[in-house]
Structure 1
Amino acid sequence: MARALSRDEEIFPDASRFDPGRHLTIDGQLKEHIVNHFAFGHGRRICPGRWFAENAVWTAMATILSIVRIDYARDPHGQKIEIEEEYTAGLSIHPKPFQCSFESVNVEREGQLRAVTSFG
């Protein structure tokens, strides 16, 4: 059901296309459907940690994107390898693994991040 809600063509036109800008208003603010996202529930049972979760994800993504450029993987000739949209089957549906490229854009920040994390 959550997958169907996230693909509502009236709210998310062309839902399969990667377009982060679709979630922003003209002045750069988050649209209402993101602030009150269905994944956190509704009414009395709404997740009390939703604001913390949203802020943690926002901070993590901003940190990652300030350090690395995420792009298509390249073949030996330098041509980008297109991503085929494939999903697992079953109760929990998620994308199958795919190739991509990570390129450091800020070596100093990369070193700082590696110093404070366990994957460094």
Structure 2
Amino acid sequence: MSTMNCDKCVMAGAAVASKHRSTLLARKRTGKKGLHFSMVREDQIKTRWTESEAVAIKSTADAMASNPAVETNVAAIRGFLAMFAEAPEVLVHVHNELKAAGLPVPEWLPLPQ
């Protein structure tokens, strides 16, 4: 996976970036309590939520007759789509990474313009 460096990309998802991204990144620990990303495989990554965030997510899922994992994934996909609308070059980057890895494009991922 390559790293994308551009000033405009930092603004993608600006509402999240400005208020929450740093906090969420600081909380991202995986595996055993406190085990950092560099120490685990990607398929072991878990999201850590505060108690109030977890209750908000569960309450939303209950209202949607769904479950927290599904609703978190839906929210993530919607967030990615909003980010791609703000920064189309990020979408191009994602498509290039999928192609380089020989992976199919997820059905929800739009084609770059």
Structure having greater relative contact order (Cα 8 Å, sep ≥ 6): 2
Task: With the length of structure 2 as denominator, give the TM-score of the two structures.
Answer: 0.33
Whichever of the two has the greater Rg, that structure is 1
Bigger strand fraction: 1
Q: TM-score, normalised by structure 1?
A: 0.32
